[in-house]
Amino acid sequence: MFDMICAGFAEALHVANLFFVLLGVIAGVIAGAIPGINGPMAIALCIPLSYYMSPVAAIGFLVGLNKGAFFGGSISGILLNTPGTPESAATTWDGHPLAQQGKGEKALRTALYASVTGDAFATLVLILVAAPLAAVALYMGPPEVFALICMAMTIIAGLGTKSMIRGLIAASLGVLIGTIGIEPVSAMPRLTFGIVSLERGISLIPIGIGMLAFSEIIIQLERIIGDKGKTEVLSFSPRPEDRFVSLKEYLGCAVTLLRSSIAGTIVGALPGLGAPVASFFAYDQAVKHSKHPEEFGTGRLEGIAASESANSAVVASSLIPLFTLGIPGNMAAALLIGAFVLHGMTPGPLMFEQNAQFIYAIYGSLIVANIFLLGVGQLGLKVFCKMVSIPPLVLYPIIIFTCVMGSYLSQYSSFDVTLMIAFSLLAYFMRKFEYSFICLIIGFILAPIWETSLQQVIIASEQDPFMFFKHPVADILMVLTFIVICKSVFSIRKG
């Protein structure tokens, strides 16, 4: 085992892998700094490119992309008061007031150090707990897997939108779309309506690109046409005390950083909660535990540290359910499943037996990406800030072209481009009517596992309707699912 760990980390330190991780971090920071672009959107665009990389380089590149985007979102949030990503919204509450005081660079450095701290803590937790949890997960049979996915989709549906009913409708639609293609038992085409291209099923790439990237471009163009107004990038103060974060100031935020990193790690490990929940929760806790809560919102470094350390901790901790159970913790982790499958691997507990060296190589890439983020953030801070001011009418045509080419190159099929446009329109209207397209994507990803486990239960039990009652763990999970649904129904009636 020790030799395998060493081989995995050595593979992560290969020059080619280091280059792609660094490239991912740089691209992620740029993507996160541009309002309207976030980590999952960038991952969806870049998954087709990862096909030409080695498995370790591909996952390292995408993980670095996600890490960079989480920090990059704070750049536009602090300077423009427009969060580049949703999880950076809480960062603006103290970051932008500091920028208005001429301390924008200090605020950005605080966000950088907090992001690196939170991510390092969560990565350590991932390395320590993933393997033991995976060993426990190996004892789960088809009934437990089926019940676990039911509970996961219910929780995600409840947290992905204000209405659980709408979340469940979106997740069910995702499951329905995931069943399109050849039925695994009878090998008969299903829901293809005579369209030959649908017999192979629908790929995650056109769905991800269409619903995350192309639909966002439609929304942003709609806002530009509506002329919502423009913002200006604030200048930096030349004084050293307004530019740099001293060791005393960093240590003054140490308790906040530790508390927020723990909160972000726990939230990230729970499927469906996501980085925005971690960010707002950590900020709220920082205010409650502060001796001067009235100063928050006026430019407190603790506010930036709480938000950024919590949302960055989600990056690594969201991989815990992915590696141990094969269930994505958030949207970025869900898209990473597509990258794993693209390279012939299925996330889950068996990965620790079949591809242990690959897992430790990913751990090494996570550590390296965090180090690169610190270096890239320090050296290229002012350069990345200029990315914020790129005119949308120059940027968006490039993104549209990337969406089209990314969809086409996934399977060299123009039909996938049509699917991408169709799903972008579906996501646009889902946003308008407050249906969670994230629930749809996660439902689509979990559909094959959910269907396979159900079929295994039915075949193994010879259609015994009491099969689930013979498995206590499955019973507990189904009861928890029922409780979550009942609470949602009762809250709707009270409302």
Domain ranges of the chain: 2-494
Q: What is the pLDDT of residue 106?
A: 85
Assign 231 a pLDDT band (cuts: 50, 70, 90): very low
Q: Is the predicted pLDDT of residue 222 greater than 70, yes or no?
A: yes
Q: What is the pLDDT of residue 474?
A: 82
| Residue 420 backbone dihedrals phi, psi, to 5 degrees | -60, -45
Top-confidence residue, 279 or 424:
424
- Token pair, residue 225, equals 């046409």
Assign 233 a pLDDT band (cuts: 50, 70, 90): very low
Q: What is the mean pLDDT of residues 222-243?
A: 62
Among 271, 244, 189, 213, which residue's Cα sits nearest to residue 400? 213
Residue % of the chain over a pLDDT of 70: 85
| Residue 182 backbone dihedrals phi, psi, to 5 degrees | -80, 125
Q: What is the pLDDT of residue 386?
A: 63
pTM: 0.68
Q: What is the pLDDT of residue 391?
A: 72
* Average predicted confidence (pLDDT) for the chain: 79
| H/E element, 308 | helix 301-317
Cα of 380 vs its chain's centroid, Å? 24
Q: What is the mean pLDDT of residues 317-328?
A: 79
Q: What is the mean pLDDT of residues 275-300?
A: 78
| Residue 273 backbone dihedrals phi, psi, to 5 degrees | -75, -55
Q: Is the predicted pLDDT of residue 253 greater than 60, yes or no?
A: yes
Residue 256, C-beta contacts closer than 8 angstroms, at least 6 positions apart? 286, 289, 302, 305, 306, 309
Burial of 193 (0-12, 13-18, 19+ CB in 10 A): exposed
Assign 328 a pLDDT band (cuts: 50, 70, 90): confident
SS3 content of the chain, % helix, strand, coil (to 5): 75, 0, 20
Q: What is the mean pLDDT of residues 423-435?
A: 88
Q: Is the predicted pLDDT of residue 487 greater than 50, yes or no?
A: yes
Assign 422 a pLDDT band (cuts: 50, 70, 90): very high
3-state secondary structure (DSSP) of residue 190: strand
Assign 388 a pLDDT band (cuts: 50, 70, 90): low
**First-last CA distance in the chain:** 55
Q: What is the mean pLDDT of residues 385-401?
A: 71
Among 372, 352, 368, which residue's Cα sits nearest to residue 360? 352
Q: What is the pLDDT of residue 98?
A: 84
Residue 323, C-beta contacts closer than 8 angstroms, at least 6 positions apart? 126, 130, 134, 347, 348, 349, 351, 352, 359
Top-confidence residue, 280 or 156:
280
The answer to whether the CB of 337 falls within 8 A of the CB of 204 is yes
Of 311-320, 322-331, 341-350, 387-396, which has the strongest mean pLDDT?
311-320
Q: What is the pLDDT of residue 425?
A: 92
Q: What is the mean pLDDT of residues 5-14?
A: 81
Q: Which amino acid type is present at position 457?
A: V
pLDDT tens, position by position, 78-101: 776 666 566 676 787 888 788 878
3-state secondary structure (DSSP) of residue 182: strand
pLDDT tens, position by position, 440-463: 877 887 788 788 888 888 887 777
Assign 286 a pLDDT band (cuts: 50, 70, 90): confident
Top-confidence residue, 270 or 441:
441
Lowest mean pLDDT: which of 155-164, 238-247, 252-261, 293-302?
Answer: 155-164
The answer to whether the CB of 20 falls within 8 A of the CB of 62 is no
Q: What is the mean pLDDT of residues 458-470?
A: 74
3-state secondary structure (DSSP) of residue 181: strand
Q: Is the predicted pLDDT of residue 232 greater than 50, yes or no?
A: no
Lowest mean pLDDT: which of 147-156, 177-186, 300-309, 421-430?
Answer: 147-156
Q: How far apart are CA 262 and CA 423, in angstroms?
A: 36
Q: Is the predicted pLDDT of residue 426 greater than 90, yes or no?
A: yes
Top-confidence residue, 58 or 239:
58
The answer to whether the CB of 425 falls within 8 A of the CB of 207 is no
Q: What is the pLDDT of residue 421?
A: 92
Residue 384, C-beta contacts closer than 8 angstroms, at least 6 positions apart? 29, 30, 33, 72, 75
| H/E element, 189 | strand 189-190
Q: What is the pLDDT of residue 161?
A: 56
Assign 372 a pLDDT band (cuts: 50, 70, 90): very high
CA atoms within 13 A on the CB side of 202: 27
Assign 113 a pLDDT band (cuts: 50, 70, 90): very high
Q: What is the mean pLDDT of residues 258-272?
A: 80
